[in-house]
């Protein structure tokens, strides 16, 4: 490991950033590291404090955004400007403990690509934080099939190759774990400490739980159907058309047996509506297929990622 980059997005954490820098310095003593702090539109003295800290320690780098773009955008900015071979992410409120990082790095050396934190003895309010988080984590596990208990812990260690495969939009920072798993990364989770907030104000509110549910649909689609949208929209369209045919057939049979006539039979109207809707879903699938090809081919992006390559020359070189 040549360089370790610690990426921390912050907003209005003036009271915490001096302690954050000190904690990172103590935890990573003896290692080569940089601290990339992204000021996501702070309105207090956070940037002034960060400027002072960066002037005192060249390993501290500060990125100030024009306004508050959100945690995902701030984290992506940190990734884009980090130079390390290994990337550590954590919150700036010191609820994550930088002292856990060395043990996570040791776990990474066992052959994993990502090591996630699992908040043990979580120090948050039960109704506002713990219960919504528990429900969201359970739903994410079920929908995405990712077998981890805590997706909300920001403390994680990732290899550069994993980070380079990420593109965070909206509020997708919550799903970094799912994106890494679907890339094919080797992922594990280890218990980490969690401290109560002692300064500043939490930016969390219950509306985030609703946004998680909405983002979950996007992540599921990207993970399962990004390169084959017709398999999703086409399947729904065929199911609707099959149901429509059954409804129309039933209405014809009822016309010549027990009644009522087709025009007075709601099954006829439902069948016609299902047929039209099914055709629309098939059309969506076709447009999705075209857009998928435009997306990948116009940017020269292959629909796969190569982990490594070996050939005879490599073996000869390794043997020499």
Q: What is the DSSP letter of 117?
A: E
Write down the pLDDT at residue 187: 92
Q: Any bridge partners for residue 116, and if so which?
A: 156, 189
Candidates 231, 306, 241; CA nearest to 276 is 241
- Phi, psi angles (nearest 5°) of residue 186: -85, 115
- Phi, psi angles (nearest 5°) of residue 290: -65, -45
**Stretches in the chain below the pLDDT threshold 50:** 316-320
Write down the pLDDT at residue 76: 93
Element (H, E) at 289: helix 266-298
Two tokens at 113?
């690509």
Write down the pLDDT at residue 203: 62
Sign for the CA dihedral angle at 11, 13, 16, 22 comes to: positive
Write down the pLDDT at residue 128: 60
Q: Any bridge partners for residue 285, and if so which?
A: none
């Amino acid at each position: 490991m040549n360089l370790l980059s610690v990426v921390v997005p912050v907003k209005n954490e003036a009271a915490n950033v001096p302690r954050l820098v000190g904690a990172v310095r103590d935890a990573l003593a003896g290692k080569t590291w940089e601290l990339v702090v992204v000021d996501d539109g702070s309105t207090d003295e956070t940037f002034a404090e960060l400027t002072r800290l960066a002037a005192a320690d060249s390993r501290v780098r500060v990125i100030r955004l024009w306004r508050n773009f959100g945690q995902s955008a701030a984290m992506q900015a940190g990734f884009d400007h980090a130079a390390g071979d290994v990337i550590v992410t954590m919150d700036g409120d010191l609820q994550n403990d930088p002292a856990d990082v060395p043990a996570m790095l040791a776990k990474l050396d066992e052959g994993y690509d990502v090591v996630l934190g699992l908040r043990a003895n979580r120090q948050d309010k039960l109704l506002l934080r713990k219960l919504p988080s528990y429900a969201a984590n359970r739903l994410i596990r079920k929908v995405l099939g990712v077998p981890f208990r805590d997706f909300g812990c920001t403390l994680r260690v990732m290899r550069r190759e994993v980070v380079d495969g990420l593109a965070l939009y909206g509020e997708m920072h919550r799903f970094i774990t799912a994106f890494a798993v679907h890339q094919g990364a080797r992922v594990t989770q280890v218990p980490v400490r969690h401290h109560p907030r002692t300064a500043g104000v939490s930016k969390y509110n219950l509306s985030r739980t609703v946004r998680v549910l909405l983002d979950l649909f996007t992540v599921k689609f990207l993970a399962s159907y990004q390169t084959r949208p017709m398999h999703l929209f086409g399947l729904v369209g065929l199911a609707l058309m099959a149901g429509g045919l059954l409804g129309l057939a039933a209405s014809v049979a009822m016309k010549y047996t027990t009644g009522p006539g087709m025009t007075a039979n709601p099954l006829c109207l439902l069948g016609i509506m299902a047929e039209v809707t099914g055709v629309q879903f098939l059309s969506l699938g076709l447009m999705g297929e075209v857009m998928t090809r435009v997306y990948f081919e116009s940017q020269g992006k292959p629909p796969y990622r190569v982990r490594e390559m070996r050939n005879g020359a490599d073996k000869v070189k390794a043997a020499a």
